[in-house]
Amino acid sequence: MDKNQQTVPLARLNKIKDIGVYFDAKLDFQDHMHEKMNKAYMMLGLINRNFKHMSIPTFVALYKSMVRSPLDYCCPVWSPYTKGDIEALEKVQKRATKLIPALKNLPYKDRLKACNMSTLHYRRVRG
């Protein structure tokens, strides 16, 4: 090392974003999950405001492209393992399937069957 070069200590970070995933010191990915769920709810609000009377195929196309794909991104890295985290993510899809007027009063499992979709937890386990 030259005499003119000085060493600079590195700053400690609480979290960092890499490949689109928020990593923290404990590797529990809470910040990442909250960020993704907030964006998913914002997209659901956008869909709900702009598509009042949508059919099931229209909803499925919008949901898969605008809401579910960001929730599935890099899920092998940050996949939730606690029951509370799994239920919090599943709540996004439960709310989304209630946006279809024809399916609003059906139970969640029946709404998924009508849309030909599986639960988010099953997709992560299968993937």
Tell me if 94 is assigned to some domain.
yes
Tell me if 5 is assigned to some domain.
no
Tell me if 53 is assigned to some domain.
yes
Residues of the domain holding 122: 15-126
The domain tally of the chain equals 1
Detail the DSSP E strand segments found in the chain. 15-18, 21-24
Tell me if 48 is assigned to some domain.
yes
Residues with Cβ within 8 Å of 69's Cβ and at least 6 positions away in sequence, in order, are: none
User: CA quadruple 125, 67, 65, 114: dihedral positive or negative?
Assistant: positive
Q: What pLDDT tens digit does each residue of the chain (127 aa) get? A: 566 788 888 888 888 888 888 888 888 888 888 899 999 999 999 999 998 888 999 999 999 999 999 888 887 788 788 898 889 999 999 999 999 888 989 999 999 999 999 998 888 888 6
User: CA quadruple 25, 27, 28, 34: dihedral positive or negative?
Assistant: positive
Tell me if 74 is assigned to some domain.
yes
Tell me if 3 is assigned to some domain.
no
